[in-house]
Structure 1
Amino acid sequence: MFLGTHAPKLDDKGRVILPAKFRDELSGGLVITRGQERCLYVFTEREFENLHEKIRQAPVTSKQARDFLRVFLSGASQERPDSQHRVTIPASLREYANLGRDLTVIGVGSRAEIWDTEAWNDNYEKTEAEFSNTDEEVIPGLF
């Protein structure tokens, strides 16, 4: 399970060192793809395969499902960490997420997310206020 907030740097070759707490889970390979809110999603290969199976069940007749598949899968990149636990983030994904040198990597349970630090701080500030003011059940059965 991916948890916590980490602050790695992006090097000149577009590589990031995986947070130590994520290394074991991602050592066998991972998939990086476009996420929502202009971040990147990072999945283990197994989790990505499970997600893909669920996505494949969407009706081909649904334009929204087709559009989601196109955006989500066309940007996906299988990667394998090197001996120094670095992963290359493809240029197209770095551009999509507007990544600068300073990154924020967060654990979101079944996936990690990679954010440009400034974008993460802006997003967090907005969503934390909404989180604090939540007065109805957002996730059924949680609270």
Structure 2
Amino acid sequence: MLLGTYTPKLDEKGRIILPAKFRDEFEGGVVMTRGQERCVYVFSETEFETFADGIRRVPVGSKQGRDFLRLLLSGAQSEQPDRQNRMTIPQSLRSYAGLDRDLVVIGAGNRAEIWDAQAWDAYVTANEEDFSNTAEEVIPGLF
């Protein structure tokens, strides 16, 4: 399970160094794609296959499902971390997420998410109150 918050820098070639705690999970390669809220989702190859299998079950008659599938899969790209544990974020995904030099990488269970540092700070600030107010009726069985 991917957990935690890390603050790597994006180098001039569009690469980041993977957080040490994520390296075992991603050593076989990653799939990066558009994430919701303008971040980049990073899955292990295996986890992405599982995730994509679930999405492919959405009925073709569902416009919302088709739209989600198209945007998610059309933005997906495979990447293999190099020997220094660096991973290149494709330019299209850097543009989509507004990534600049300062990044935040979070563990989100089955995936990592890469955020522009300012966008992450704004997201946390905007959602802290809702997080504090999340109750049993929102996520049954949580508390």
Partner of 2:51: 51
Q: Does 1:133 align with 2:141?
A: no
Q: Where in structure 2 are there 5+ consecutive unaligned residues?
A: none
Partner of 2:22: 22
Query: Segments of 4+ in structure 1 off by > 6 A?
Result: none
For 1:85 and 1:134, locate their aligned partners in 2 and report how far apart those are by CA, in whole Å: 37
For 1:80 and 1:62, locate their aligned partners in 2 and report how far apart those are by CA, in whole Å: 34
Structure 1 counterpart SS, 2:37: helix
Partner of 2:70: 70
TM-score between both structures, scaled by the size of structure 2: 0.97
**Pairing 1:105-124 to 2, within 5 Å after superposition:** 105-124=105-124
Q: How many pairs align? A: 143
Q: CA deviation at 1:136?
A: 4.4
Q: Does 1:80 align with 2:76?
A: no
TM-score between both structures, scaled by the size of structure 1: 0.97
For 1:138 and 1:103, locate their aligned partners in 2 and report how far apart those are by CA, in whole Å: 30
For 2:138 and 2:107, locate their aligned partners in 1 and report how far apart those are by CA, in whole Å: 20
Q: CA deviation at 1:122?
A: 0.3
For 1:138 and 1:93, locate their aligned partners in 2 and report how far apart those are by CA, in whole Å: 31
Residue-by-residue CA offset, 1:77-96 (whole Å, 9 max, x unaligned): 10100000000000000000
Taking only the aligned residue pairs, the percentage that are identical comes to: 66
Q: CA RMSD, aligned part only?
A: 0.8
Q: Where in structure 1 are there 5+ consecutive unaligned residues?
A: none
